[in-house]
Amino acid sequence: MKKLILIFLIFINYTVSYSQQDFINWNTVGGNSNRDGISKDLFDFTIGFEKTFNAPNTIWGMPVFCNGNKFTTTRYTSLNPLRALIITFNFNSVNPVWTYGASSGVNVIMGFNDNVIYVRDFQQNGNDTIFALNAEDGSLLWKSRFTVERGIIWTAAFTDNGDLVLPGSGSYRIMRINHLNGDTVWTNNRIIPNTGAETMCINGNTLYAWEGGLTTPKKIIAVNVNTGITKYSSATLPGDGDQEIPFTVSKNGVVYCIRDGGLMYALKDNGSGFTELWSRGVSHPVGTYTQIATGNDSSVYIPYGRKIYRLNHLTGAARDSSIDLVSSGTINPRFAIGKFGIINAGNGASVPSDGKYFTFSSDLQTIYNQVPFSYNYYCGPTPGGFINIPHILMAGAGTDIKARYIIIDNILNESSEIPELYTLSQNYPNPFNPSTKFNYSIQKEGYGSLKIYDVHGKAVKTYFEGFKKAGEYNEEFNAGGLTSGIYFCKLILNEINITRKMILLK
């Protein structure tokens, strides 16, 4: 029998004001420039409810990116002529706040960082133009005079200062782009791999990338992020001439990569070269658009046939595996793993009708949720939103972007700093529509307030403000005129502050 986890949150000295640190950000494929799929800000409990955002119809799903209170994605609206536009939402509205490129171009997002959305016009000829949009209104900030390599879904890796690292074109085989104006900071003339789905990773001051063409050996190279100079490379990694499989680098500098038609490798960057920790066979073919992830305990998650495997990071041995995630074809899983190690994964089914998003236990043995979503092979689950109001966003074909609100109300987290002089109950029911009830007690009279706020900090209901006598009080909150979302019930008295989160779901 599954346990129902109910969580209560009490905040001390809570104020309804937000900064960038209050949000879960997912800036590129894999969530960060390591591409490890980990979001330490995500409270990844398994209980939640679903919300649908309305988007222009798309032929297939594309990656969703979150930054602050906004998220953005590409929508392929036409194949003949090929057209793709950008849409951007905030988490408080089910409709886009703006769109870009509805009438022209194939606008594909490369990343979303510091309120700027980085886009390329996909020309399919190695001459993609790149530009930056203001996330507030979609206005053009800059358009680079440099072009980048063609690619279906590759995305930028970001340096510490926000610059982009991209696959270049011509002799500029890797480029670091100044995020403020689109100029190049440096270029690197490697032998470019034959791929439309390349991944580059950054860990610390080192960029990791594939090198090698159709007829030349394939290696992982380590590049100085500050200078663009190649420091060293791995030994040749045998496999097919083609190379489209991405890779991941862990925070402690281990590169996990799978060669097309070859083995999987764990390569430790030792500061002057790579040491092979282990290699192992995998079930081929491995999906072109897949991601490798590392868990909170350093376990490694990979596609294996129609399953996901969990590997021992020290030996490469299989620890666990999921059930088959598709009935036929291959999978292209992408992962989002939060604070408590729960695995959110899209199967990226090569047979579009098999597309699904899953929520697993960390050992892959328990499935908490399944959400069907066809044509999800280019995208994966995306965490986003407020840290205390997290979402898992899911995309695919059609007009919907779905979000699972993860409910983190209700494990009691009492603090010894709160005197027993004051209590504020969790409202019931929660979620509610349109009314809910709660109670509070005051054992020592004093000055303060009891109000309900929306997520912007606006008071939508005031029960008292000023002097309050001791007593037991019962209240009702009717939200009939308000929109669905998160609200905060906040009791302040004699400098004691208790807050409860309330979810209105219409």
348, 376 contact by CB (below 8 A): yes
At a CB cut-off of 8 Å and minimum separation 6, what does 390 contact? 24, 42, 43, 44, 338, 383, 384, 405, 406, 408
SS (H, E, C) 286-323: CCCCCCCEECCCCCEEEEECCEEEEECCCCCCEEEECC
* CA gap 424, 335 in Å, rounded: 38
- pLDDT tens digits in sequence order for the chain, 506 residues long: 333 333 333 333 333 344 556 789 999 999 999 999 999 888 776 666 788 999 999 999 999 999 999 999 999 999 999 999 999 999 888 999 999 998 888 999 999 999 999 999 887 666 788 999 999 999 999 999 888 877 777 899 999 999 999 988 777 789 999 999 999 999 999 988 877 778 899 999 999 999 998 888 999 999 999 999 999 999 999 998 877 678 999 999 999 999 988 999 999 999 999 999 999 999 988 888 899 999 989 999 999 999 999 999 999 999 999 999 999 999 999 999 998 889 999 999 999 999 999 999 999 999 988 999 999 999 999 999 887 778 899 999 999 999 887 755 433 333 334 446 788 999 999 889 999 999 999 988 888 889 998 876 788 999 998 888 899 999 999 999 898 888 889 888 876 778 888 888 88
Other CB atoms within 10 A of residue 131 CB: 18
Q: What tokens were used for 163?
A: 């610059």
* CA gap 91, 222 in Å, rounded: 38
Other CB atoms within 10 A of residue 75 CB: 25
Closest CA to 256 of 315, 195, 175, 197: 315
- Range 422-504 classified under CATH 2.60.40.1930: yes
* 78 strand-pairing partners: 83
Burial class (CB in 10 A: 0-12, 13-18, 19+), 484: middle
54, 94 contact by CB (below 8 A): yes
Q: What tokens were used for 378?
A: 């280019």
SS (H, E, C) 184-250: EEEEECCCCCCCCCCCCEEECCEEEEEECCCCCCCEEEEEECCCCCEEEECCCCCCCCCCCCCEEEC
* CA gap 310, 290 in Å, rounded: 15
